[in-house]
Structure 1
Amino acid sequence: MQKTTLLFLTLLGSLGFAQQKSTGVMTLSNNPIPITANFTLDNSTSQVTLVLTGPSDRWFGLGIGVEAGFGMADGDVVVFTTSTNPNLSDRNFAGLGVPPNDSAQNWTTVSNTVSGTVRTLTLTRALTTTDANDFQMPYASTNSISIAGVRPAGATFTVGAHGGTNNVGYATAAFQSLNTDDINLNTVELYPNPAQNFFNVSARSEFNSITIYSQTGKLVKTLRFENGSIEERIQIDDLATGIYLLEVSGTSGKAWKKLIKE
């Protein structure tokens, strides 16, 4: 919780995402509930943000920097399961069986939400770490990434064998800059701000969701726009007065905005 609070206080204080690049949403071909991942690298904060989705009724993992045929023998993996505390663990592939935990747990969970059969996680980590098991992502030289999504064939939160090749999906994507017409701080506007009963969100490119956090990083609510939108009026009568952090997300990236509720 302390790491999450510090992260949000840093975002509120600077909001300086001047240099970002993103993979966009990468969909892994394992059904019926696919795993998706969206990596955003931020040069100004030296952080990577990973928005990861998967089935809500079982554990699932994401192999980072691995390609088809890697054989579960080595590589970086992050695993979510409700049967461990904390739920998220930073691990490494070491062959058959349960991937062992890394000595350093470098991923921080910013949010964990469930909508129907889909769980959405927002995670952050430093671009580079001192852990030899971590896939390093220096901003200047990380131009693409390959990933693998794994999960069990049946509903279970006990981490074990993933259940065969039908429950593994692979994807590779190139990073695209978010400094032009993609969603970033310069292309998203909030008004009025400060606001009392409502505020408007306007963007140059489509966004699919707006997530509101308190000043300490607590998730307040998430609003979803299934068909995409470039302008929305948001009612905030139910919010207490104070400062909030908004995450505006679309397929091309995301922006963080500060909102003052009077």
Structure 2
Amino acid sequence: MKKITILLLTLVCFSGFSQSKSTGIINLTSNMTASFTLNNSTSKVTLILTGPSDRWFALGLGVASGFGMTSGDVLVYTTSLSDRNYVGTFAPATDASQDWTTVSDNVVLGVRTLTLERSLTNSDSNDFQLPYASTNSINLAWAKSGSVSTTLANHGGSNRGFATDTFTLTNNEFTLESASVFPNPSNGHFTLKTNVELTNINLYSQTGAFVKEIKFNSDSNEIEIALDGLSSGVYLLELKNDSEKSWKQIIIN
């Protein structure tokens, strides 16, 4: 009886934490990745999308190889993000309803990282719907400009591709996204707390210029960081491990 009780408690705890599922990082092409997280508690999907900062790029949702660009949901970044839909070989038409919110837009070393959020489901017929219970995989089509340009045009045959990935249950408390920095603002001495393995910490200026790599003791989940000699301002911490990357903004007084 005791073993059964312990097992039930374990299952209850696990189900309480498993309110999201994620694809992890999907490598599309050079400078292009995508990562989807579906959150059952908030009924939101978070998409972390990276692409080249000097040209347009696009990501089609729920479309597989051979779809012919005749229909489907697509996100396009030119000088800003737009929610669109495929209309054959013509430039994707802009949706009347722009359902994605840009949470952050950062450029570092030629790579733009967008953190985007949308409801899992909505009434927009042009949007690919992502009901939590039944969404276990996703087909993607991607494209980017073959040259430096933010004007949407033909991408060329070698600058596109397709990918499929599956969702697995995650625990939001055990992701890099859940890492916290305190105090913030600070005088340059602060604590970084994370519940998952961390392999690299890099510091960038607000404009994306690399400042330094931060050395730390990977055996601790609370890392004391001292950044002396920096000018006051806003900086970005790049947190990385083998399967995730996350950004944290810090303010130094």
Return the offset for 1:192. 7.4
Matches within 5 A, 1:1-262: 19-29=19-29, 33-82=30-79, 87-164=80-157, 166-179=158-171, 182-183=174-175, 188=179, 197-206=189-198, 230=218, 232-235=223-226, 252=243
Which residue in the other structure is 1:6 paired with?
none
Given residue 130 of structure 1, which amino acid in structure 2 is its aligned partner? S
Q: Secondary structure at the match of 1:199?
A: strand
Q: Which whole-Å deviations, capped at 9, do the CAs of 1:133-161 have from their partners, x for residues lacking one? A: 11111111111111111112111111122
3-state SS, counterpart of residue 205 of structure 1 = coil
Q: Which amino acid aligns with 2:197?
A: S
Instruction: Tell me how far 1:248 sits from its aligned partner.
Output: 6.3
Bigger Rg over Cα? 2
- Shift of residue 37, structure 1, vs aligned partner: 0.3
Give the whole-Å Cα distance in 2 for the aligned partners of 1:150 and 1:182: 32
Alpha-carbon distance in 2 for matches of 1:130, 1:160: 29
Deviates more, 1:218-227 or 1:44-53: 218-227
Deviation per CA, 1:104-155: give whole Å up to 9, x if none: 1001111111112211111111111111111111111111111111112111
1:45 CA drift (Å): 0.9
What do the CA deviations read for 1:140-193 (whole angstroms, capped 9, x no partner)?
1111111111112111111122222x11022111111112894278x8576779
Q: Taking structure 1 as reference, are residues 150 and 226 closer, same or farther at Cα in structure 2, changes over 3 Å only?
A: farther
Aligned AA (1:80) = Y
Structure 1 position 70, deviation (Å): 1.4
SS in structure 2 at match of 1:37: strand
Displacement of 1:207 in angstroms is 6.2
Structure 2, unmatched stretches of 5+, are 1-15
Cα deviation 1:219-261 (Å, max 9, x = unaligned)? 9999997999855433478779xxxxx996656558899x9x9
Structure 1 residues 80 and 209, CA, compared in 2 at 3 Å: closer, same or farther? Answer: farther
Which segments of 5 or more consecutive residues in structure 1 lack a partner in the other structure?
1-15, 212-217, 241-245
- Give aligned-pair identity as a percent: 46
Cα distance in structure 2, aligned partners of 1:70 and 1:233: 51
Q: Is the 8 A contact 1:57 1:155 kept in 2?
A: yes
**Number of residue pairs aligned between Structure 1 and Structure 2:** 228
Paired with 1:199 and 1:207, the residues of 2 have a C-alpha distance of 16
Contact kept? 1:111, 1:219, Cα under 8 Å = no
* Cα distance change of structure 1 residues 69 and 28 upon mapping to structure 2, 3 Å threshold: same
Superposed displacement of residue 203, structure 1: 2.7
Structure 1 residues 52, 97: closer, same or farther in 2, change over 3 A?
Answer: same
Aligned residues of 1:26 and 1:38 also touching (Cα < 8 A): yes
Indicate if the aligned counterparts of 1:63 and 1:75 stay in contact, CA closer than 8 A: yes
How many angstroms apart in 1 are the aligned matches of 2:170 and 2:40? 12
1:153 aligned counterpart, secondary structure = coil
The higher-RCO structure (CA 8 Å, 6+ apart) is 1
Partner of 2:3: none
Deviates more, 1:17-26 or 1:246-255: 246-255
TM-score with structure 1 length normalisation?
A: 0.70
Q: What's the CA shift for 1:200?
A: 3.1
Partner AA of 1:167 in structure 2: N
More deviation, 16-25/89-98: 16-25
